[in-house]
Amino acid sequence: MQTVLNPNSTPSVTIDPGSGFCFGVVYAIEMAEEALEKRGYLYCLGDIVHNDAEVYRLRKKGLISITHEEFATLENETVLIRAHGEPPSTYQLAITNNIKLIDATCPVVLKLQNRIKKSFDNKENIFIIGKKGHAEVTGLIGQAENRGVVFSDISELELDKLPEEITVYSQTTKNKARFYEITKSLTEKGFRVNAHDTICTQVSDREKELRGFAVHYDVVIFVSGTKSSNGRVLFEVCKQTNPNTYFVSSPEEINPEWYRHATTLGICGATSTPMWLMEEVRSSILNKKLACV
């Protein structure tokens, strides 16, 4: 474990070694950096990861985030598909506009896309537990030609209008316990539910690991981008385990009052949080602590 001790003996600061980018994000960033070395610039359809600090780092290397509207105006270019994946319409447009795609879709997301496509082709009623408008969810529902239902809570459904049998999938970064709570409730209400737990095991395992981490510290600083769905889920896991957990997206947001009387402090983050950013947070905490003791 990475531990740095304050010269004044408080607090000791430990970075969770299990935090940091998941393999899907690592894969996408490696592909981006490899292409940037060869080309000098590269378009990316949306932010490559939901972390502003990492997006800024790659922007300085030449990675240009573009919207879907901007993508539609490109021709004869090269564009990176990030780990979140894309709907079939994006690939069709790329063919039409002669756009070369560097496809960094996470293998877990790609497998889920294929499963939804198969279910849709089998004329199943597709329901996806996820955040409407989220990049991954847009790609998932696109496999069902946007005819499925996306929801995050059972209260959003018009139960009296639902078919008797439904097939339920999940956005890969959702809470596993919440998934089973929702599918159980639908079953208890009389629906035949074909439930598919498609939550990434790296994400679900992180929940257990973070509980074990957070319980050992007086204060926990959770580092994540504000747009990260995974970050919000994992922050709540830490907060439930240790009420003295605080969310920051950059070192500038740290308040020394949070840990003035702490003797141990843990730093952890989302699967979209770079390790280098957590190390900067650690340095800031130590410096600010020294300034106020």
* Overall CATH class of domain 2-21+202-292: alpha beta
Per-residue pLDDT at 189: 95
Stretch(es) of the chain classified as CATH 3.40.50.11270: 23-105
H-only helix segments in the chain: 23-39, 52-61, 68-71, 88-96, 107-121, 135-142, 176-188, 201-214, 229-241, 275-292
Token code pair at residue 244: 């003295």
pLDDT, the chain, mean:
92
Per-residue confidence at 289, pLDDT binned at 50, 70, 90? low
Task: Read off the pLDDT of each residue in 58-63 and give the average, rounded to a whole number.
Answer: 97
The one catalytic residue in 70, 136, 156, 158 is 136
Q: So what's the pLDDT on residue 1?
A: 43
Q: What is the pLDDT of residues 27-60, one digit of tens each?
A: 999 999 999 999 999 999 999 998 999 999 999 9
Whether residue 124 is predicted with pLDDT greater than 50 in this model: the reply is yes
- Which tens digit of pLDDT belongs to each residue from 204-262? 888 899 999 999 999 999 999 988 888 888 999 999 999 999 999 999 999 999 998 99
Q: Where in the chain is the domain with CATH 3.40.1010.20?
A: 2-21+202-292, 110-199
Instruction: Please check the confidence at residue 85 and state whether its pLDDT lies above 90.
Output: yes
Report pLDDT digits (tens) over 185-213.
999 999 999 999 999 988 888 889 999 99
pLDDT over 90 (residue 3): no
* pTM for this predicted structure: 0.85
User: C-alpha 46: how far from its chain's center?
Assistant: 14
Region 173-193 average pLDDT = 94
**CATH assignment, 23-105:** 3.40.50.11270
CB 135 within 8 A of CB 228: no
pLDDT of 292 reads 45
**CATH 3.40.1010.20 assigned to 110-199:** yes
207 is catalytic: no
Angle between the 52-61 and 23-39 helix axes, to the nearest 10 degrees?
20
